[in-house]
Amino acid sequence: MEFLKSRRSIRKFKDQPPSLEKVLKALDIARFAPSAKNAQPWRFIVITDPEVKSKLSRIHPAAKPLERAPLAVVVACNIDESPVSYMLDCSAATVYFLLAAHALGLGTVWIQTMRNIENIREILGMPASAVPIAILAVGYPDESPEPPPRKPLESIVYLNKYGEPAIKLHDAR
């Protein structure tokens, strides 16, 4: 439980790049994420070329951590393989990757892609059947940020009906 809670978004990285073997280890775990009908519509593009990484770091202001990361992984999702659930499937695989990377001592941050799909497709030569769901900056952490605050459990858990704060979690514990 503590391990799951201790994953943080990392935006500053050491210069030393992680080995490709290590990244592949985390990607190997991402394959075990659940997906609708076990469609596994995900594809992963490992970005080691500084020029490509630099282009990706400029897709929007919050993509800047990519500039400082030694490596990136783009999660691309094949719409045809999972037309209804592709986004859900690939988000699940992304989270598996983030946690596996954390287990291997790597830091990551999820970079938003959804407003820049065409631009990313162009940079990476992706077909229209593939949607870039996430870009992940990857490297050895060079910071240890405090956990951003979370909404209290009591305010996000309902009982039997949406919005029903019937559960007195303090009492239930």
Ligand X SMILES: Cc1cc2nc3c(=O)[nH]c(=O)nc-3n(C[C@H](O)[C@H](O)[C@H](O)COP(=O)(O)O)c2cc1C
Nearer to ligand X, 61 or 163 (CB): 61
Question: Any idea which residue has 């065409």 for tokens?
Answer: 118
CB neighbourhood size of 105 (10 A): 10
Beta strands 71-78 and 42-47, pairing class: antiparallel
Write each residue from 53 to 82 as x if it is in contact with ligand X (CB under 6 A), else as -, in one continuous string. Answer: ---------xx-x-----------------
Residues 5-34 touching ligand X, rule: CB under 6 A, are 8-9, 11
**What's the Cα-to-Cα distance from 51 to each of 8, 55, 57, 75, 117, rounded to whole Å?**
27, 6, 10, 19, 19
Give the residue among 101, 117, 115 at the shortest CA–CA distance from 9.
Answer: 101
Nearer to ligand X, 4 or 166 (CB): 4
Give the residue among 129, 134, 7, 5 at the shortest CA–CA distance from 59.
Answer: 134
Which residue among 1, 2, 38, 148 contacts ligand X (CB under 6 A)?
A: 148
CB of 61 to ligand X, least distance (A): 9
Which residue among 100, 110, 136, 138 contacts ligand X (CB under 6 A)?
A: 110
- Bridge partners of 74? 45, 135
CB of 8 to ligand X, least distance (A): 4
Which residue among 111, 126, 131, 136 contacts ligand X (CB under 6 A)?
A: 111
Which residue among 76, 109, 126, 138 contacts ligand X (CB under 6 A)?
A: 109
CB neighbourhood size of 108 (10 A): 29
Nearer to ligand X, 148 or 163 (CB): 148
- Bridge partners of 111? 135
Which residue among 6, 16, 54, 112 contacts ligand X (CB under 6 A)?
A: 112
